[in-house]
Amino acid sequence: MINLILFGPPGAGKGTQSAKLIEKYSLTHISTGDLFRKHLKEGTPLGKLAQGYMDKGNLVPDQVVIDMVDDKIKSSGNITGIIFDGFPRTIPQAEALDKLLASKQAPIKVLVELVVPEEELRTRLADRARKENRPDDAKPEVIENRISVYKSETVAVAQYYKDHKKYASVIGVGKIDEIFENICTEIDKSLLAK
């Protein structure tokens, strides 16, 4: 299995690049943000629970996220690999993911970080709020909280994969196709290395 993490702050372009990567490498896309939005739309208990956190730009509690990802992996059947998008967002999530994948003998090959300056993120999130009707993009204070939660909880996840020698980074500003090519180069390197 080719298991990858696409990592980066809110608005870095993870969703856009994931869509291209799943096609090129025949991967299954697991976006925890998308999964929560689906639950929310369907009005499930999980969706209702997540909503309170999402509306404020806070993280949904680790165990809730981990159980949802576990279910999703288990129900995915026979697949060639997974791209994780928006997960793991905390160290406990990263440790839990390692355990889940160890049981399948299919560890993460690489985490690729999309690096985007903060000012650019604020502009993109405000644009997305206008285009996509995402309530968590609409309020400046919620955007600020998501960026601040990213710094306090999520940045450490990149270090975790650096420590495990499974880290690469790509500049996330520029043409979508050029960023995509640069991500592919990093993925291909990690596939050759292992």
**Nearer Cβ to ligand ADP, position 71 or 188?**
71
Helix H, strand E, coil C: the string for 147-159 is HHHHHHHHHHHHH
Count Cβ atoms within 10 A of the Cβ of residue 105 and give its class: 0-12 exposed, 13-18 middle, 19 or more buried: exposed
> Is there binding between residue 7 and ligand ADP (CB under 6 A)?
no
Q: Which of 63, 67, 59, 45 is nearest to 136 (CA)?
A: 59
> Is there binding between residue 54 and ligand ADP (CB under 6 A)?
yes
- Residue 10 near residue 64 (C-beta atoms within 8 A): no
133 annotated to bind ligand: no
Q: Hey, what are 155's tokens?
A: 């940045």
Which residues are at the interface with ligand ADP (CB under 6 A)? Answer: 10, 32-33, 36, 53-54, 57-60, 65, 86-87, 89, 93, 136, 146
As annotated, the binding site for ATP includes 11-16, 128, 174
As annotated, the binding site for AMP includes 32, 37, 58-60, 86-89, 93, 134, 146
As annotated, the binding site includes 11-16, 32, 37, 58-60, 86-89, 93, 128, 134, 146, 174
